Amino acid sequence: MSSLKSQTVSHNISSPYLSRLARIERVTRLTEKERLFNIAIEDSKTLGHAPGQFIMLSIPGFGEAPISVSSPPDKGNMFELCVRAVGNLTNALHNLTKEDKIWIRGPYGKGFPVENLKHKDLLFIAGGIGLVPMRSLIKTVLNERSSYGSVHLLYGIKGPDEILFKDELLQWGRTGNINIQITVDKPHPEWKGHTGVVTTFIPPLKIDETKTAAIVVGPPVMYKYVIMSLGDKRIAGHDIYLSLERRMKCGLGKCGHCQINSIYVCQEGPVFRLSNIRYLREAI
């Protein structure tokens, strides 16, 4: 697909409604369905995101969609998106190459409370592509590793061919800065590691519930069982953070697509404390 060089717009980023032009710098194949895009903002200004926030990405003729930022907020005018091809827009994005242009709005929403997490032991629990928005926070933590206690990552996927960021996971594990455990749902001939759902990792963990914060991102079906397991470990609801990245459409709380009772996920989330949404039956 050719670059969209004829498109112009006023880059007044003071308005959340206006898009900015961005350029694809590199595309890396992670799995059969996922690609990692290194993107530069054309006006050279920083994205200014926090871990857990998202942008609205658009390609003229193919529409617009919310995409989580998967890089930490320290890359100047560069940022990274890991995108699964699941529809017209994301398939079109997968067909783009270096120097092709896209449009972005944002960042939007509320991310993970990085300052509140400092000096705590961190338990990351990811399911499938839930590792994508979580990666931004993990890399932020690793960049300031001495500001945090122990760090565990429990990562569950359907099969070994769906593991994201394999090289980074190996590198993180080798440094000893983070304890990583990976499981696949069912036995697989190419997998010699742990088999079973990600919650099977939780009961054996030695956790100090008074100083542990849990960060959970994955498919909605996973949340109920992870929350129950964390409750067995006596981790308080105000120390459990969930990302409800679903049903978002405009990013501005105008379309109502992401509304859960009185909450707009795109505005008041996508990151929530469990204690603040436990009463919302549709949320978890």
Instruction: Name the helix (H) or strand (E) containing 265.
Output: helix 265-268
pLDDT band at 18 (very low <50, low <70, confident <90, very high): confident
Domain with CATH 3.40.50.80 in the chain: 114-277
Residue pair 153/201 in contact (Cβ under 8 Å)? The answer is: no
Residue 2: pLDDT above 70?
Answer: no
Strand-strand pairing, 179-184 and 194-195: parallel
Percent of the chain with pLDDT over 70: 93
Angle between helices 166-175 and 131-143 (to 10 degrees): 30
Using alpha carbons, select from 80, 89, 99, 69 the residue that is nearest to residue 3. Answer: 99
Q: What is the mean pLDDT of the chain?
A: 90
Using alpha carbons, select from 14, 80, 2 the residue that is nearest to residue 43. Answer: 14
Percent of the chain with pLDDT over 90: 73
pLDDT band at 283 (very low <50, low <70, confident <90, very high): low
Q: Which CATH number fits domain 20-107: 3.40.50.11810, 2.40.30.10, 1.20.20.10, 1.20.58.110?
A: 2.40.30.10
Instruction: Name the helix (H) or strand (E) containing 57.
Output: strand 54-59
Report d(CA 50, CA 242) in Å as an integer: 15
The pLDDT value given to residue 281: 64
Residue pair 98/188 in contact (Cβ under 8 Å)? The answer is: no
Q: What is the pLDDT of residues 205-246, one digit of tens each?
A: 999 999 999 999 999 889 999 999 999 999 999 999 999 876
The pLDDT value given to residue 99: 97
Residue 174: pLDDT above 60?
Answer: yes
Compute the average pLDDT of residues 11-36: 86
Domain with CATH 2.40.30.10 in the chain: 20-107
- DSSP 3-state helix, strand, coil percentages of the chain (rounded to 5)? 25, 30, 45
Amino acid at 220: P
Report d(CA 280, CA 58) in Å as an integer: 31
The pLDDT value given to residue 284: 64
Domain 114-277 fold: Rossmann fold (3.40.50)
Compute the average pLDDT of residues 49-63: 95
Question: pTM for this one?
Answer: 0.90
pLDDT band at 264 (very low <50, low <70, confident <90, very high): confident
Helix (H, G, I), strand (E, B) or coil at 143: helix
The pLDDT value given to residue 253: 77
